[in-house]
Amino acid sequence: MDAVTYELIKKSTETDARLGILHTPHGDIETPVFMPVGTQASVKTMTPEELKEIGAKIILSNTYHLYIRPGERIIEKAGGLHKFMHWDRAILTDSGGYQVFSLSNLRDIKEEGVTFKSHLDGSKHFFTPEKAVQIQNSLGADIIMCFDECLPYPCDKDYASLALKRTIRWAKRCKDTHKNIEKQSLFGIIQGGMYKDLRLQSVNEMTDMDFPGYSIGGLSIGEPKKIMYEVLDWITPVMPQNKPRYLMGVGSPDCLIEGAIRGIDMFDCVLPTRIARNGTVFTSHGKLVVRNAPYAEDFRPLDEECDCYACRNYSRAYIRHLFKANEILAARLATYHNIYFLVNLMKKIRKSIKGGTLLKLRDEFYLKYGYNKEDDE
Amino acid sequence: MDAVTYELIKKSTETDARLGILHTPHGDIETPVFMPVGTQASVKTMTPEELKEIGAKIILSNTYHLYIRPGERIIEKAGGLHKFMHWDRAILTDSGGYQVFSLSNLRDIKEEGVTFKSHLDGSKHFFTPEKAVQIQNSLGADIIMCFDECLPYPCDKDYASLALKRTIRWAKRCKDTHKNIEKQSLFGIIQGGMYKDLRLQSVNEMTDMDFPGYSIGGLSIGEPKKIMYEVLDWITPVMPQNKPRYLMGVGSPDCLIEGAIRGIDMFDCVLPTRIARNGTVFTSHGKLVVRNAPYAEDFRPLDEECDCYACRNYSRAYIRHLFKANEILAARLATYHNIYFLVNLMKKIRKSIKGGTLLKLRDEFYLKYGYNKEDDE
């Protein structure tokens, strides 16, 4: 039996949205779910206890980063990633594919694998599908990812097709390598650029391999949002109903709603944590740059409709002061709030799927949040 | 009645140590006590809840810094410093004197006050004793300090005498200015450099003014520790028994013990928080630079004898990784541990005063901690 299984609770009639439960070795997770990102075995600024308090059930960590530093051997020696970072809920690791293609400046792609240089010290490394899985086996996350080739945007069709076929061959090698199926589930990744036939081909060939879950890669990489939504509209209807669908790297509030509407079950993104550290927070009425001057004497909470720890106890004026004074607590409070905001949004999304009011939620959100189409692109 | 009063619980017979309770508008505080420093209205990296969990009963904040940024008017508008920073236990603010003399590069000392340039933007400011008290009245801390002239080390006797007399005249002006005595208590500051007669003169003239408490300034400014201890040996025996004595800027573990032995009731220092952010932690066996390579695969806690949150849940290997990876959680965990270590040391000191075993505690500490006399100088 697979370590991770998906239980479909309810299929929306008004949209393609699904309500489900992801059963993992480290607990059950109601879906659709947002996964905060802990790139280097830490969700930036946060403790695991705070993430639990917020309601996070699963976090993502990055294989590439942990391989580079501290190295998967140390984490394995520590008893695995859960124990190393003191997190006893579920973890998902990516395969390193995305980072190899986005962070490393010198890389050489061959059928066997990819040679790349570390973004830290320029040292040379060679990743293969086998190695990506072995590293993830050492890390021990509940959900692990196939090693894939990530395309730039835009990308011509010939190359997209070539890369897609290689990604499928690599997925087979990943599956053959992965031995730890009772503790960790290996997900396949749907690629194919912004080309409908390639995306459909990818869905077909990946689902033929019968992975316990599928992620959708190669989106949110600079393309307009409407193109991302179009790609989702092509592929989620033909993806298996009994497997979870994970849209990689997506996390702006509007995209979470639009993704859920299109049948996505899992999301991850550094957006809430990254913008928090720059002094930007989500609010019910749109984004707010709390470090800006207008908030110097604004004694209201970050978001007047939020009941998170930061909003219950601190004013915009105080948090702005902390940002101006370079106090670490600034980043902590903004991060706490932003993750809370998204986790809470996912709760509202699940409630709306249950009640059949997801489209209403979307309309209200756009009206109130003051959505700008180009805002997060 | 003074806002803050000192209740002597027990006078040690083996040393000059005292066990007491400081009654403040924001709670009672067992003394001797260590006060973590929240320079800019935040104890760096920490939330108030964490400080409470650790057992901190009073923190210090800096008038100079808050005057410069965000400005005392904003804090007053917010309802005072307690409310601004969400801390409902006691606060002590210094007068800004030390910072004016140590941080500001261009200053001009006159009888009326001191002109100095902001360390942030070079803007010119003028502090008088009256202004220092008015700012502290706006901030609203439980304990506030007289504006004093801080000497460098070494300093010739003629100047030390001149500065001391001015500090005494300034103290009178501070006392005359301070109107808020039922909510805030103004402490006098003993100066006089490293000269016995000047220190004794300072004690006499300050105690004649009958402040509700006295701090000892001008120590821990670069002089050898034995000189600091000698100064304390001169003055604490002649200080009033019914008033608290606060040794400013002192916070290394050995100095806390030696200070308590000499009858000090209150301490503050940035040491635990500052070294934490650089990757250094206190342990029962001396300081440990956890960011160093030997800890890469050390899965023991920071201090095997510590039961703080950081030591219960994380390894040296993990915390080292966080430091190497520039993760904010590194500074959080090290800071939490270091403050806990000192708060816990003060508990042991109080217990030893109660049991008449403080000298034994000192001997055991030096033996185990591996004290190096020059270590913290």
Structure confidence by residue, pLDDT tens digits, B96-150? 999 988 887 668 999 999 999 999 999 999 999 999 999 999 999 999 999 999 9
- Cis peptide, bond prior to residue A154, ω within 30 of zero: yes
Per the model's pLDDT, the better-predicted residue between A111 and A106 turns out to be A111
Confidence label for B372 from pLDDT (cuts 50, 70 and 90): low
Residues of A in contact with B313 (CB under 8 A): 86
The label of the residue with tokens 């008033």 reads B243
Confidence label for B228 from pLDDT (cuts 50, 70 and 90): very high
Catalytic residue among A254, A265, A268, A376: A268
In this complex, the residue of B40, B70, B325 whose CB is nearest that of residue A69 is B325
Confidence label for A36 from pLDDT (cuts 50, 70 and 90): very high
Q: A188: number of CA atoms within 13 Å, CB side?
A: 27
Interface with chain B: mutation pick from A46, A292, A318, A335, highest number of B CBs within 10 Å: A318
Residues of A in contact with B296 (CB under 8 A): 70, 74
Cα(B271)–Cα(B369) distance, rounded to whole angstroms?
A: 17
Contact A178, A211 (CB under 8 A): no
pLDDT beyond 60 at A211: yes
The pTM of this model reads 0.98
A268 included as an active-site residue = yes
Reported as a single tens digit per residue, the pLDDT across B144-203 is 999 999 999 999 999 999 999 999 999 999 999 998 899 999 999 999 999 999 999 999
- Is B42 within 8 Å of A329 when comparing Cβ atoms? yes
Catalytic residue among B265, B268, B303, B376: B268
Q: What is the mean pLDDT of residues B260-268?
A: 98
- Reading the block at residue B172, the tokens are 């009178």
Reported as a single tens digit per residue, the pLDDT across A287-341 is 999 999 999 999 999 999 999 999 999 999 999 999 999 999 999 999 999 999 9
Element containing residue B216 per DSSP (H, E): strand B214-216
Eight-state DSSP code of residue A160: H
Q: What is the mean pLDDT of chain B?
A: 96
pLDDT beyond 70 at B376: no
Find all residues with CB under 8 Å of B134, minimum gap 6, and list them: B177
Q: What is the mean pLDDT of residues B258-267?
A: 98
Task: Write the CA distances from A179 to A182, A212, B275, B288, integer angstroms.
Answer: 9, 14, 45, 41
Residue A200, amino acid:
L
Nearest C-alpha in B relative to A65: B325
Eight-state DSSP code of residue B374: T
Whole-number pLDDT of residue A49:
98
- Give the distance from CA A13 to its chain's centroid: 26
Whole-number pLDDT of residue B104:
73
State the CB neighbour count (10 A cutoff) for residue B237: 12
Whole-number pLDDT of residue B272:
98
Whole-number pLDDT of residue A191:
98
Reported as a single tens digit per residue, the pLDDT across A293-307 is 999 999 999 999 999
- The CA distance from A9 to the nearest CA of chain B, in Å, is 36
Contact residues of A toward B, CB < 8 A: 40-42, 44-47, 65, 69-70, 74, 77-78, 84-86, 296-297, 299, 313-315, 317-318, 320-322, 324-325, 327-329, 331-332
pLDDT beyond 70 at B377: no
Element containing residue B353 per DSSP (H, E): helix B328-355
Whole-number pLDDT of residue A223:
96
Task: In chain B, count H helices and then E strands.
Answer: 15, 16
Cα(B149)–Cα(B98) distance, rounded to whole angstroms?
A: 7
- Is A328 within 8 Å of B297 when comparing Cβ atoms? no
- Collapsed DSSP state (helix, strand, coil) of residue B152: coil
Reported as a single tens digit per residue, the pLDDT across A212-261 is 999 999 999 999 999 999 999 999 999 999 999 999 999 999 999 999 99
Cα(A71)–Cα(A40) distance, rounded to whole angstroms?
A: 11
In the sheet that holds B27-31, the strands lie side by side as B5-11, B18-24, B27-31
Nearest one of A372, A374, A346, A376 to A361, comparing CA atoms:
A346
Task: Write the CA distances from B222 to A211, B54, B97, B153, B227, integer angstroms.
Answer: 66, 30, 17, 6, 10
Contact A32, A264 (CB under 8 A): yes
What ipTM does this complex have?
Answer: 0.97
Find all residues with CB under 8 Å of B204, minimum gap 6, and list them: none
Element containing residue B120 per DSSP (H, E): none
State the CB neighbour count (10 A cutoff) for residue A313: 15
Cα(B51)–Cα(B43) distance, rounded to whole angstroms?
A: 9
In the sheet that holds A114-117, the strands lie side by side as A107-109, A114-117, A124-127
